[in-house]
């Protein structure tokens, strides 16, 4: 064990050279199924490597649970490199934990302290019902995308790059909005469980680009209608979503969404 540590020592952000394993107390939300009552169950780990990612720490715990004949903790994950948006946890009351612009899968245990207590809860919103333990159903986001998050494009060979001129700053704004990975942290961090940051990123991304113009009005009307149907709350402009977003999506997109929506109501087709 220790030799493999030494090879990674140069990456370590830990202040001390020698890397101490951590003892942690975890309070993890356990819920058998969508309809069952859930509760916190306490687990103690006493040799967590600071090099592990947060999800690896859960993997280790799960191996132990399986070895003991217990049900492992269900949690969502896929890429584990911060690009898919699958990992959805609330760590000590914050979606994706306390690090700014970092997904749960990108958090390392060296950011925690020896002896620390960690509460791990699923994202909470009526629109994101718990499926099991820490896994929530974010199908509401898919239905919002299906309602209007698309463009009409000619199928066939790919168009030439730069065939369609787009001003640099516009392209930048569209790219910034397109950075949204649809993880749902905005909903989870919003005290109103509002999905405005997500929807605004998707609407902005397409409304800014020439390819998105054909459906510009009907897209925003349909996506907002679906968002409301799903039971998300109303935005009160507190910007907690922006602070919690692992991709740093700005609430300027929400202003744009509001503008697009009101414009579509007033003069859309």
Partner 1 sequence: MVRRIASLWSSSIGKKALMSVTGLLLIGFLVLHLVGNLQLFADDGGKSFDAYAAKLKSFGPLLYVAEFGLGALFLAHLALGLRVTFENRAARAQRYALERDRGARSFASATMVVTGVIVLIFLVIHLLDFRLREMAPDGLAAMVVRRLSEPAGALIYVVGVAALGVHLSHAFRSAFQTLGLSGKGWDTPLARLGKAIAIVLGVGFAMFPLVFFSGAKKASHQASLEPARPIHAASDVTTEAIR
With 0-12 CB in 10 A as exposed, 13-18 as middle and 19+ as buried, what is 80? middle
Burial 238-251 (b: 16+ CB within 10 A, else e): eebbbebbbbebbb
Residue 237 CB, shortest distance to ligand HEM, in Å, is 6
Q: In terms of residues, how long is the chain?
A: 269
| Closest C-alpha among 26, 254, 3 to residue 120 | 26
Residue 51 or 76: the one with the smaller Cβ distance to ligand FES is: 76
Residue 19 or 124: the one with the smaller Cβ distance to partner 1 is: 124
Residue 78, contacted partner among ligand HEM, partner 1, ligand FES, none, CB below 5-8 A by kind: ligand FES
Among 9, 33, 41, 79, binds ligand FES (CB under 6 A): 79
Residue 77 or 256: the one with the smaller Cβ distance to ligand FES is: 77
Residue 70 CB, shortest distance to ligand FES, in Å, is 24
Residue 187 CB, shortest distance to ligand HEM, in Å, is 16
Residue 227, contacted partner among partner 1, ligand HEM, ligand FES, none, CB below 5-8 A by kind: partner 1
Residue 51 or 244: the one with the smaller Cβ distance to partner 1 is: 244
What is the C-alpha to C-alpha distance for residues 85 and 202, in angstroms, rounded to an integer?
Answer: 15
Count other C-beta atoms under 10 Å from residue 203's C-beta.
29
Residue 55 or 187: the one with the smaller Cβ distance to partner 1 is: 187
Q: Taking CB under 6 A as the rule, does residue 228 contact ligand HEM?
A: no
The three-state secondary structure class of 42 is strand
Q: Taking CB under 6 A as the rule, does residue 237 contact ligand HEM?
A: yes
Residue 133, contacted partner among ligand FES, ligand HEM, partner 1, none, CB below 5-8 A by kind: none
Which residues are at the interface with partner 1 (CB under 8 A)? 29, 40, 90, 92-94, 98, 119, 121, 124-127, 130, 189, 191-194, 196, 221, 224-225, 227-228, 231-240, 242-244, 251-252, 254-263, 265
Our CA dihedral for 259, 174, 81, 50, rounded to 10 degrees, sits at -70
User: What end-to-end distance do the CA atoms of the chain give, in Å?
Assistant: 65
Among 26, 28, 43, 85, binds ligand FES (CB under 6 A): 85
Residue 211, contacted partner among ligand FES, ligand HEM, partner 1, none, CB below 5-8 A by kind: none
Q: What is the enclosing helix (H) or strand (E) of 136?
A: strand 135-136
Q: Contact at 8 Å (CB) between 196 and 241? A: yes
Q: Contact at 8 Å (CB) between 24 and 112? A: yes
Q: Taking CB under 6 A as the rule, does residue 80 contact ligand FES?
A: yes
Among 14, 65, 83, 166, binds ligand FES (CB under 6 A): 83
Percentages (nearest 5) of helix, strand, coil residues in the chain = 40, 15, 45
């Amino acid at each position: 064990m220790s030799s493999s540590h030494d090879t990674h020592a140069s990456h370590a952000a830990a202040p001390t050279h020698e890397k101490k394993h951590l003892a942690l107390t975890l309070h993890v939300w356990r819920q058998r199924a969508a309809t069952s009552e859930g509760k916190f169950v306490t687990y103690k780990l006493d040799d967590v490597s600071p090099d592990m990612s947060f999800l690896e720490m859960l993997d280790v715990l799960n191996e132990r649970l399986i070895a003991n004949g217990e049900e492992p903790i269900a949690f969502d994950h896929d890429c584990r490199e911060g690009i898919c948006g699958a990992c959805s946890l609330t760590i000590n009351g914050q979606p994706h934990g306390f690090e700014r612009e970092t997904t749960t899968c990108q958090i390392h245990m060296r950011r925690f302290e020896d002896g620390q207590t960690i509460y791990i809860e699923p994202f909470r919103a009526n629109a994101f019902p718990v499926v099991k333990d820490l896994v929530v159903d974010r199908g509401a986001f898919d239905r919002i995308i299906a309602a209007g998050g698309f463009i009409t494009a000619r199928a066939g060979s790919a168009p030439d790059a730069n065939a369609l001129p787009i001003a640099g700053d516009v392209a930048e704004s569209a790219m910034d909005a397109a950075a949204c990975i649809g993880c749902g942290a905005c909903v989870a961090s919003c005290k109103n469980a509002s999905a405005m940051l997500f929807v605004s990123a998707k609407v902005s991304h397409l409304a800014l680009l020439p390819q998105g113009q054909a459906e510009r009005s009907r897209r925003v009307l349909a996506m907002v209608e679906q968002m409301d149907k799903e039971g998300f709350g109303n935005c009160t402009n507190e910007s907690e979503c922006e602070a919690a977003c692992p991709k740093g999506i700005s609430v300027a997109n929400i202003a744009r969404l509001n503008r697009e929506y009101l414009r579509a109501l007033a003069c859309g087709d």
